[in-house]
Amino acid sequence: MNERPRGIESVLVVGTGLIGTSVALALREHGVTVKLTDQSPGAVRVACELGAGDEWEPGGDRVDLAVIAVPPQFVADWLLDLQKTEAARFYTDVASVKALPIEQARRLGCDMSAYVAGHPLAGRERSGPGAARADVFLGRPWAYCPGRETSPRAVAAVLSLIELCGGNAVKVDPVAHDEAVALISHAPHVAASAVAARLVGASDTALGLAGPGVRDVTRVAGGDPDLWTVILSGNARPVAEVLEAVATDLAAAAAALRAVSVDDDGAIARVTELLRRGNAGRSRIPGKHGGPARAYAVVQVLVGDRPGELARLFQVAQDAGVNIEDVRLEHAPGLPLGAAELSVQPESAEVLAEALRSHGWHVP
């Protein structure tokens, strides 16, 4: 059996966008030598200035691992070009679609024994190297898809990459991966964009009434449309199937609601059934640390829009021995204050509320 590598000491990152630069920053924190390249000289320059690595000079020393951080349609071409020059011992990618680049790489005649397709399920609504963070992968699933031909040493190198970046390695079949991300990421992005698109012609009155509900539903719609068009076209069939199923549910709900207006007694029950299925589906989303979803109690407290307010709030929770599981801020339109919603274990809710009141916080 081939000896497993003790780790990776040098990495080439191809593509210095959000994910590529975040990978580079994470590796640099562990002393890995990182080389960077991108079709945009400006993006490489920004990534270098952030401390993500040094610009790659083709023909230089061979690296242990090349991380191809480009849209899925271009992964195979980069893989072939890099392998022709023996730029790295092993290769992976971080594209959000897996079946397409693997199929294209095989068709181009790439060395599949040295390549492990990968996808860290992490990111932000912002894009570009300036949005990169070394901690973006911490605790996040990182799918990897070795094939029949894949060398154990190539797999070990990619597992080392995932470990250094703080990700949680998940071995998955490429087709199953694409169907999964269509359901949990790609189709929801389109659905959120469809809801957000309704706001383009909304009245000032409607927008003035907007609260956390519409912000939650449309949050991911802030992503780069050009980037998402590339992602969606690379996973078109699975995404279309999910959207068609969602559209069927929405059409049925719309028809039922129209029937309510003509006194159809059974119509509202059909809407309720969809809402209940929504409750059931949401309850299946894993909770903290990947465990079962937990029902937290929410303590709401009014917070002034001043420096240090949140720090004081968290200090009170710490002194009371209460762990804050999640926090959400909602600003009050036209007022220099907002509401912080602190999610805590149910048994800790009253303890935290009393501690906050005793320190002068207004807890409704």
| Residue 119 · residue 171 · CB < 8 Å | no
**Cα gap 60→74, rounded to integer Å:** 23
Quickly count: other Cβ atoms within 10 Å of residue 254's Cβ.
11
pLDDT of residue 1 exceeding 50, the answer is no
Tell me the CA distances in angstroms from 230 to 13, 42, 104, 224, 248, one per residue in order: 20, 21, 16, 10, 25
Give 86's Cβ-side CA count (13 Å radius).
Answer: 2
Q: Among 3, 64, 4, which residue's Cα sits nearest to residue 30?
A: 64
**Cα gap 96→121, rounded to integer Å:** 8
At 339, the pLDDT band (50, 70, 90 cuts) reads confident
pTM of this structure: 0.81
Question: How many residues appear in the chain?
Answer: 364
pLDDT of residue 195 exceeding 60, the answer is yes
**The token pair that represents 26 in the structure block:** 């994470």
CA angle, corner 188, sides to 67 and 243, nearest 5? 115
At 161, the pLDDT band (50, 70, 90 cuts) reads very high
Percent of the chain clearing pLDDT 90 (strictly above):
68
Q: Per-residue pLDDT tens for 92-127?
A: 999 999 999 999 999 999 999 999 999 999 876 667
**What does the pLDDT read at residue 334?**
64
- Work out the burial of residue 26: count CB atoms within 10 Å of its CB; fewer than 13 is exposed, 13-18 middle, 19 or more buried: buried
pLDDT of residue 289 exceeding 60, the answer is no
At 4, the pLDDT band (50, 70, 90 cuts) reads very low
Average pLDDT, integer, range 325-354:
83
pLDDT of residue 332 exceeding 70, the answer is no
pLDDT of residue 290 exceeding 70, the answer is no
Region of poorest pLDDT, from 68-82, 203-217, 251-265: 251-265
**Backbone region of residue 139 per phi and psi (left: phi > 0; alpha: psi in -120 to 50; beta: other values):** left
**The token pair that represents 118 in the structure block:** 């990968």
**Cα gap 153→90, rounded to integer Å:** 8
Average pLDDT, integer, range 331-339:
72
**Cα gap 33→54, rounded to integer Å:** 9
**Cα gap 48→261, rounded to integer Å:** 61
Tell me the CA distances in angstroms from 119 to 68, 175, 196, one per residue in order: 11, 13, 27
At 329, the pLDDT band (50, 70, 90 cuts) reads confident
Percent of the chain clearing pLDDT 70 (strictly above):
93
| Residue 11 · residue 157 · CB < 8 Å | no
Q: Per-residue pLDDT tens for 213-255?
A: 888 899 889 888 988 999 999 999 999 999 999 999 999 999 9
Residue-averaged pLDDT of the chain: 90
Q: Secondary structure of 7-19 in the HEC alphabet?
A: CCCEEEEECCCHH
pLDDT of residue 26 exceeding 90, the answer is yes
